[in-house]
Structure 1
């Protein structure tokens, strides 16, 4: 089993990527869930997805406690974005088969995504990438995975609805294996340039936008 990985992106931003080795009962025993979290977990029927959901909360709890802060659980806003209870820090969570990830930022919104590199990214190109991004990716599975993972991180950072990957989220062309990308959220009433850190790690790729 792989070991957990901590990434300190700057003084304010820490990432934890952890393999999931526990079963549901072990993960639940280590967490105190809020009422809304209990309701959310109750709505998840697939056993593996329940484990991944719990593992994400175990990861963010570990990051909080490493900062010597109290962990009181999570609550969602009106858009479904998770926030810490009684703490002003910003978080984001992501999971895939066998892996959970969390990021904690002291002062600004943040988004995280983890993805295996797989051929199915080819099928979502027309609805996810702009014409310029499609030209740059040029059908390459690794580049398509970076675009997808980076845009998922941007989407989670923004955390609101009425936004599409193709029209409103943009990633500037990058060199292969680059670990720092530039992303943009472009809406009529909101324009923002963001840093995206991208790592080949764990299940395949991990991207953090901040």
Structure 2
């Protein structure tokens, strides 16, 4: 991509060995594909995406993760998915996560531990999904406030992507400790019968609304 297309890109230092990149999607599909390594499984996945905007979002995520890998001194050789659909770097042991929404793409790379990322606009949808995504304590804390509901949703999505497996629900298995309004660091938990984990989540008011990184 040209310098003009990257003018508003925002590089975020999350922790040692962990960086995230938020990229506004200002380029068309041919520009995004220029010089971008895509494996055959990736090309097969892209062929299944029909909507032009969704294709550019998919490609922009890979542009973002490629830039992060190169920023950290690695060589980007494309991605593959595991049995759960979680993306991984080919030929590198680093953990990655991708997210996109209308007009924006984001990626994060962590060199030593699992990581998850989500970007979200603040929208009315969060009110509708409260009963199936928030615990009773989280519902009480959110108090119907749109900004808090957005934080809960974005933070839980980042936890879900970090864990990278199935058979878990946002309401029962992914939990967020109460937080102060405007907090940029949260504590999250993955609680399953055979697996319990406490994780840090960085949350930024940025781009389309919110960006959360769990690690």
**Which TM-score band (shorter chain)?**
over 0.9
- 1:19 aligned to 2:39? no
Gap runs ≥5 in structure 2: none
CA distance in 1, matches of 2:124, 2:40: 39
User: Superposition RMSD on alpha carbons, in Å?
Assistant: 0.9
CA distance in 2, matches of 1:125, 1:77: 30
SS in 2 for 1:88: coil
Q: CA offset at residue 66 of structure 1?
A: 1.0
Q: CA offset at residue 68 of structure 1?
A: 2.0
SS in 1 for 2:123: coil
How many residues align? The count is 210
Name the structure 1 match of 2:49: 44
CA distance in 1, matches of 2:64, 2:151: 23
Gap runs ≥5 in structure 1: none
Query: 3, 7, 11: which one pairs with 2:12?
Result: 7
Query: 92, 113, 120: which one pairs with 1:108?
Result: 113
Decide which moves more: 81-90 or 29-38: 29-38
Name the structure 2 match of 1:118: 123
- 1:189 aligned to 2:214? no
TM-score scaled by structure 2?
A: 0.96
Task: Kindly report structure 1 stretches of 4+ aligned residues shifted beyond 4 Å.
Answer: none
TM-score scaled by structure 1?
A: 0.98
Q: Deviations over 1:21-57 (max 9, x none)?
A: 0001111123120011001111111110000000000
- 1:142 aligned to 2:130? no
